[in-house]
Chain A
Amino acid sequence: MTAQALIQVLASGLLMGLIYALIAVGLSLIFGLMDVVNFAHGEFLMIAMYATFGLVLWTTLDPIVVAPFVVGLMFCAGAFVYVAVVRYAMRTKANAGMVQIFSTFGLAILIQGGAQYFFTPDYRSIKTSWLGGHTLDLFGIFLPWPQIYGGLISIAAFAALSLISRTDFGKALEATREDQGAVALVGIDRNKVFAIGWGLGAALVGLAGTVLAIFYYIHPQVGATFGTIAYVTVALGGFGSVFGALVAGIIVGLVEAITALILPPTMKAVGIFALYLAVVFFRPSGLFGKL
């Protein structure tokens, strides 16, 4: 294989990895804030993809233009899920971990069923968009524009996240994560911070959804595929670590691209999963996780 072909593979892997990081970071953020794993995370992605598809169809605007609306919508959806479901799951004393897992799993199945009911199990795709189908020729290396756009969006989102920690809200978030009881004493409403945290997490995965909708098929099960990758990414990077999600996302993208070179395409996930297992075997809390 030529060096050029290798660079081609690594560059596509890197771009996809940045998108994986964007999908995963919301999950990690929510866990870091309140120790809850949202097993409906992939379904949030699916909702965002359908929302993008629907808005594009309805307004005939480009997916990039409707993206802010979808992200806003997802913020509300995330906050709503916290208020309507997770808040109650956190109140239980008996089997707390189990209740969190299964209440969000139930939600995931409910959302999948809802998508099937309203949109049918058919595969859909956005036929025309500014970026769809176009590639960039960079000295003989071909990169699809939607993926480049996704990579850039992801970098921008991570930059914005690192700035948020300097704002008042970022400080409130950090304080709530440190000590949920003490923040109440300084007048921070814990429930409000959690709701905004869920909104933010859903908005981030929603942003990834608006990107994926440009070049990926949209169907009720699409969340399951990306959901599993998101859990692996977060566990690999360390639950709760934003930086870990970025690094792990890139690693996952690169490993997936390399695996696809060596193994048959149906087995491309094996490389990621094996790497993940190898890492957690030596570092049970992931690369950047706190124990």
Chain B
Amino acid sequence: MTDSTLTSLKLRGDAFIAKRRRQLVVAALVFAAVACLPLGIRDVYLQNVLILTLLYAAVSQSWNVLGGYCGQISLGHALYFGIGAYAASVLYVNYDIVPWFGMVVGGVLSAVLAVGLGFMTFRLKGHYFAIATLVIAEIGLVLVHNWDFVGGALGIQWPFGQDSIWTLQFARDKVPYFYFALGLLVVVWLVTYFIENSRWGFWWRAVKDDPEAAESLGVEVFRSKLAAAAVSAFFTAVGGGFYAAFVSYIDPESVMSFRFSLLFALPAVLGGIGTLWGAPLGAAILIPLTEITRSYLGGSGSGLDLIIYGALIMVVALAKPEGLLSLFTRKSGGKA
């Protein structure tokens, strides 16, 4: 190898490190700006929309780990969200265990379940995989419906209590929820940021692009998928636990229905799958739009909100298959 190629390699490496640093700085600025929002927005309804946007951004980013980076399109993430919501609720309501801990319990349960289910489903390809995840989530929904210990079809009501950071109950002021949701998004974003450039990150992208070629180069395809599923399920469940604490009442339909599986995939798909900012960008557009159209147009069950929602999904999927993020990024790397 000549000196000049070594120098150019080193230069490219430096540019890469600089780019990674820049991403961190941009993230810090964006999150800091978002953190200031509650100072200006005092309206409780708008605060609710913001909290949901941040929450779905975080959960969609978790979905993105498996669906975007690793290329395994799950249409059943509502299962993990539900497990998180139920774990936090059952532990808090029945055993007085703080939701902080319940969320983590739900996360670990979900991660273990995701690995177990992965043994069954990761042999399936393409549409077969997507449909299997959908069916498994449906089974989970039916089981929870018929499981009296967790409240069956009636669900679980969180008791009214003192506002407290420990129990994550804030009846008067929604702002603490906002910061918790933002914190969750920052954590998930950082996890993706660091994994993106770890060995797993490279393996996942290899598995997504061409599993056979990856396998032949020594990538452990099956284990890669299991790892992605575990990380993805863990954070989805944590989001579910937070959601339960936030809404204070859950039933099977309100945390585990198929609607949610779609809602976790869509922001990432709209924004751009397998990217750091796709899911947050998608959520920032999709969630306020659907929440606001729902409260203004869908209140009477007229269906207009669904028409807009469906049309939006179609138009973006067809017009910008790479996701909206591609509008903002230059073709990065250039000659590289």
Contacts and interface: CB of A to CB of B under 8 A. Distances in A.
Contacts of B321: 92-96, 98-99
Interface in A4-47: 31, 37
B273 interface: yes
Contacts of A246: none
A123 to B, nearest CB: 13
B306 A110 contact: yes
Given A99-B318, A277-B120, A112 B310 contact: yes
B312 A231 contact: no
B273 A95 contact: yes
Contacts, number: 141
A106 B142 contact: no
Given A95-B322, A285-B128, A115 B303 contact: yes
Contact of B273 (A98, A235, A270): A98
A105 interface: yes
Contacts of A72: none
A228 interface: yes
B98 interface: no
Contacts of B123: 281, 284
B293 to A, nearest CB: 10
Contacts of A264: 146
A141 interface: no
A228 B134 contact: yes
B310 A111 contact: yes
A109 B128 contact: no
B138 A273 contact: yes
Given A94-B321, A102-B269, A117 B142 contact: no
A118 to B, nearest CB: 8
Interface string A84-98: 010011001111111
Interface string A263-291: 01011011001101100110011100000
A267 B230 CA distance: 28
Contact of B310 (A31, A108, A224): A108
Interface in B124-149: 124-128, 130-132, 134-136, 138-139, 142-143, 145-146
A136 B120 CA distance: 44
Contact of B142 (A103, A105, A267): A267
A116 interface: yes
B134 A231 contact: yes
B44 interface: no
Interface string A151-165: 000000000000000
Given A103-B314, A231-B134, A239 B306 contact: no
Contacts of B311: 106, 110
A116 B302 contact: yes
A106 B135 contact: no
A113 B127 contact: no
Interface hub of B125, B273, B310 (most chain A Cβ within 10 A): B310
B151 to A, nearest CB: 15
A121 interface: yes
Contact of A116 (B128, B136, B306, B308): B306
Contact of B127 (A108, A117, A228, A239): A239
A231 B131 contact: yes
Contacts of B317: 89, 98-99, 102-103, 106
Given A114-B307, A280-B132, A270 B143 contact: yes
Nearest to A270: B142
A95 B309 CA distance: 21
Interface residues of A, number: 52
A183 interface: no
B135 A281 contact: no
A39 B331 CA distance: 33
Contacts of A220: 303
Contacts of A113: 303-310
Given A97-B126, A114-B307, A102 B266 contact: yes
Interface string B254-296: 0000100010011001000100000000000000000000000
Contacts of A101: 73, 75, 127, 130
A110 B307 contact: yes
Contact of B136 (A37, A103, A277, A284): A277
A266 B313 contact: no
A232 interface: yes
A107 interface: yes
A121 B298 CA distance: 12
B40 interface: no
Interface string B100-129: 000000000000000000001001111110
Interface of B: 73, 75, 120, 123-128, 130-132, 134-136, 138-139, 142-143, 145-146, 258, 262, 265-266, 269, 273, 301-315, 317-318, 321-322
5 contacts: A85-B314, A95-B273, A113-B305, A117-B307, A273-B138
Interface of A: 31, 37, 85, 88-89, 92-99, 101-103, 105-117, 120-121, 220, 224, 228, 231-232, 235, 239, 264, 266-267, 269-270, 273-274, 276-277, 280-281, 284-286
Given A109-B309, A231-B134, 16 more contacts: A85-B314, A92-B321, A96-B321, A98-B273, A101-B73, A102-B313, A103-B317, A106-B311, A106-B317, A110-B311, A113-B303, A117-B307, A228-B134, A228-B135, A269-B139, A281-B120
